[in-house]
């Protein structure tokens, strides 16, 4: 459907922005993500899975990235990693792809309406949350490749 195509395009553009494809000319990279369940924050979950898959495959990347979803509640509070129910009740849903280098924004998408100030607050919260996700990446890689 249209929603899946949109999600696929956002994932593709984010991955293409970080994969150093010039090091492997005439090589096709196929990334398959299968959604088994959707408990909320699906796009950020897919972004995180895509980054971990690219990292595990040993592809050269210019930077790592992570996905963070924020739900802006009707009272103005920001929820990170909202559930499907919290997304339905939210005034706006914002998803960011954050690069590990300098916490730059690689991709941003919104659903609903919010002010510029609210978007900046969500971005700041997402950049702070990215630190936790990148630490998870480091711990996961360390566990996978440690000799013990």
Q: What is the pLDDT along the chain (148 residues), one digit of tens a residue?
A: 888 898 899 999 999 999 988 888 888 888 898 989 888 889 999 999 999 999 988 888 999 999 999 999 999 899 999 999 999 999 999 999 999 988 899 999 999 999 999 999 999 999 999 999 999 999 998 988 887 5
Q: How far apart are CA 84 and CA 38, in angstroms?
A: 7
Q: Is the dihedral of CA 129, 134, 140, 146 positive or negative?
A: negative
Q: Number of folded domains in the chain? A: 1
* Helix (H) or strand (E) segment spanning residue 96: strand 92-99
Structural domain including 79 reads: 2-146
Residue 34 neighbours by CB distance under 10 Å: 5
Global pTM? 0.88
Tell me, what CATH number does 54's domain have?
Answer: 3.30.230.70
């Amino acid at each position: 459907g249209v929603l899946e195509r949109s999600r696929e395009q956002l994932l593709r553009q984010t991955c293409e922005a970080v994969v150093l494809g010039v090091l492997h000319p005439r090589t096709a990279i196929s990334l398959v993500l299968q959604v088994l369940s959707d408990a909320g924050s699906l796009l950020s979950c897919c972004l995180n899975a895509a980054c971990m898959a690219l990292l595990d495959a040993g592809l050269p990347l210019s930077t790592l990235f992570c996905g963070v979803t924020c739900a802006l509640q009707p009272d103005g509070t920001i929820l990170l990693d909202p559930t499907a129910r919290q997304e339905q009740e939210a005034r706006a849903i914002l998803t960011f792809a954050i690069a590990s280098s300098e916490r730059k924004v690689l991709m941003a998408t919104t659903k609903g309406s919010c002010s510029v100030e609210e978007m900046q607050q969500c971005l700041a919260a997402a950049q702070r949350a990215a630190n936790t996700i990148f630490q998870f990446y480091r711990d996961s890689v360390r566990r996978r490749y440690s000799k013990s």
